[in-house]
């Protein structure tokens, strides 16, 4: 039995829709989680960051107004502090995040998801 793919998304996001299209075209069984309706916990975000092999800062959406309002570009914050901010402000989370078992990738660009399919 293979591990199911889980896509953490915002349904109105173009990259999230592209990820869904790719997975459907490949005939992959997957689950979608809208993290605006079902918020990600700090522990889950920490786990996803670890599975992706990145820092929490690498997962920040720098184009969002809340990023500028909180002056995060110049703020020196720990991964825990950044994750706590992402929990409080989900717009700060890059998307989609695609998880399969012990691995996860940022589906930006969409081709990154192929790592989990093949």
* Structure tokens, 82: 């950044």
Partner residues linked to 106 by β-bridges? 97
Of 5, 13, 28, 100, the active-site residue reads: 13
- Helix (H) / strand (E) element for 25: namely helix 14-25
How many Å apart are CA 114 and CA 33, to the nearest integer? 19
The DSSP 8-state label assigned to residue 40 in this structure reads: P
- 13 catalytic per annotation: yes
**What are the residue numbers of the active site?**
13
């Amino acid at each position: 039995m293979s591990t199911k793919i889980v896509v953490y998304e915002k349904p109105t996001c173009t990259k999230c829709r592209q990820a869904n299209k790719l997975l459907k075209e490949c005939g992959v069984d997957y689950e979608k989680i809208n993290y605006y309706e079902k918020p990600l916990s700090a522990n889950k975000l920490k786990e996803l960051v670890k599975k992706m092999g990145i820092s929490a800062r690498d997962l920040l959406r720098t184009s969002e107004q809340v990023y500028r309002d909180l002056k995060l570009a110049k703020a020196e914050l720990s991964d825990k502090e950044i994750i706590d901010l992402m929990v409080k402000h989900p717009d700060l989370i890059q998307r989609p995040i695609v998880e399969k078992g012990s691995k996860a990738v940022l589906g930006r660009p969409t081709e990154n998801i192929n790592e989990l399919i093949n």
